[in-house]
Amino acid sequence: MQNESIRYLIVPGWQGSADDHWQTHWQNSLPNSVRVEQADWLKPRREDWIGELQRAIASESTPVILIAHSLGCVAVAHWAQLAPLDSLRQVRGALLVAPADVERPNCPPAIRNFSPIPEHLLPFPTQVVSSDNDSAVSALRAMEMARNWGAEIGILSGAGHINVKSGHQRWEQGFAYLYRLQGRIEQLTRRRA
């Protein structure tokens, strides 16, 4: 990351990320950070969310690292299936935190249209972070998603949905996962050079 300016795209989940959410803190802390805004945070439509993500990535030619939470993680996986090659090449990596299992029996109806969850390898380095007591995804399902996506996985103990409700307003510890991902990206870049 030393030779190129990275743009961090913050990809919130269902209902967005409030001012006290860690994604907002990270957006204010990381240079070149932009939030992907959705027209409807409460009644998300998969096609709309994928379209907004594509527009945000393509709005500049700079390389991107995606930082997604919950339903935003599933939106990233759907986007990667449909994205133009040029846009895929722009994405250097993705940090996917607490991916929502939109196939679970108790999934809210408003987000079921994001199912089925893509099971393809993501074409960029990916780090999934989840919790062993997240009501939106079991640790086993998070591990399955990570395996399908070709991602490294980190399972936190007792971290809930890694959001404000679970006490993760700033989530400074999460930067360790971002830095690990950036280290993997740098190694890949050196190998390709």
DSSP character string of 78-116: HHHHH--HHHHHHEEEEEEES---TTSTT--GGGGGGPS
* pLDDT at site 1: 43
pTM above 0.85, yes or no: yes
* pLDDT at site 3: 40
Beta-bridge partner residues of 7: 64
Domains and CATH numbers, the chain: 7-192 (3.40.50.1820)
Determine the Cα–Cα distance for residues 6 and 119; give it in Å rounded to an integer: 27
Determine the Cα–Cα distance for residues 135 and 107; give it in Å rounded to an integer: 10
Short-list 107, 98, 32, CA closest to 68? 98
* pLDDT at site 172: 87
**Would you give per-residue pLDDT tens digits along the chain (193 residues)?**
444 689 999 999 999 998 889 999 999 999 999 999 999 999 999 999 999 999 999 999 999 999 999 999 999 999 999 999 999 999 999 999 999 999 999 999 999 999 999 999 999 999 999 999 999 999 999 999 999 999 999 999 999 898 778 777 788 899 999 999 999 999 988 888 7
